[in-house]
Chain A
């Protein structure tokens, strides 16, 4: 493909020479920086004390020191329950163990039962079983029923639970990685908006500004230029998504620390069954975000060519793929529709995506949402690339 690299450079120049590109990037950058700055500078009432988020987390980190490295088992839960009745300062080290783990797996009502024995009795757990892990299984069984899982799917997850090698968990402070993980959701929304603003014109402008006549009658104007435009769009997507993720994660890890990167994500979300550490989960979510961004680009570029109008591309991404999933939830009863809908990146890169137990049936077994999502995004990207290519190659300049 002659002059391919030169054409890619020119297409990138077209994207980067637009004021809107820099305005969009500036706004995204400011949003992420402001988010970090607010955490460090703005004082508010956190757990009854006037403090910045940073100060509150530093205090929490300090408070949790006595239990860091301890195994999460009945002994620790018992200590937490005793401390809860003793007083606020005695309870401080156990705040997260109790609030995030015990209350999540046992439910608020059971957690208020007071003692370990009573809680086990209410939940029907035998004395020799650890409360947290046995209650977690019950909680997961109930969630699987709520999500209308088939027996085969339930068996799949039961087997996963039986083979968990991270149980029992060792408690660690994990706020830095947890914050970085939660920001993948904010990042994908910002990336989608940014891509819609910056790429929607790439093909549409040629038609709207009537440069298509010059371009399409040139030697490289059909096949080579399509791939050059696409490559430029994808390069822009990868670099901008990478930068947005970087400015999302780095401040969180710098402010709150990198402790907990090797801890299992179940410390922050006990009902998750996928076996990952916080570090792996961040890596997974961020890579998935980049794949999703590439899929968004292929959709934007396809719409830009198909409809020869940047507005349609913007609406397709921001309206249909970002706002709609944020505002609408398909009930679990509508299994297939709901599952397709929830494979949207807005849900899969979000932290709650790990709590979607619905499996995707494939020959020979199942794929988890985390396994299926990257494949779906790649397949959809390829499909939209070829739909766009077909439209571009078939386009005829007429009727003006």
Chain B
């Protein structure tokens, strides 16, 4: 949606925004553009040519079939984990705990995938078992802050941050501990878990590339989450609680039940993200540092996608593309791969402080917005 679209037929705009819910896209797109422009100032200041740098970045992430496959593979965990965060936003909950839930899911999957009898069953059973393990691991770990918030009012932001630290240390111990040996593959030079059985590995979408079936799963999960939120009673309750918990209570909805449900399901999604990476990765094992920052980046991606279950796909692909192309940019344009973090940070900044973008591009604040669509953004998460 550009400025001209704003001027043209109001009815058309309203129709598009109503049926395709495109209004929220305007600001994120401008935010990305602004970040790229400011990023090029940084590149210039560092003495390189921004056009060369961005061209190399693009070649590295989309320049060939193999590059596209790498980008999509890199985006897969981001899609699912940011979907988890977005799902929380819809109920007005700020789930900072995706990182911990993802680790718990990955650990559960890495554990179940090495059970002796998994080797004996066909993939149609082994793969869902491993993914289910991830789901349960994340569900339980996400349920903790849900119950604490619903029962005691403990703020989910604080609780999930602390649970992240616990999960990170726990993962280090479970993976690295030699005495007692828990998940460690003792034959490995770099500490990692025993690889999961071949039967439980997700098949590759394109052989010879890292792209695996997890990407399809991620897209399907987006559809499922959208359907649940928009087409079911539970989804309506979630959105209503997110928009106004008092009104929800007045309408006879159980706010505490919704909080537990949403945080647990959000955790379950994050857990699937971890499990799918363990089962879909080329190695089939988990190292303690493998998911460094994935959960945190997912918060940013969910913000960029304005918590829309479909918008997380392009937002996560953008993230994956930046990370995938960084090496090529460094080799071909001589710009440090740290630049992609500058761009990512700027994107977050301009999305979060959208007043800047609205002012620069003169984007009107949408009128009569459906408050149940905006969740955490309308309400703020500190409330």
A, B: real partners: no
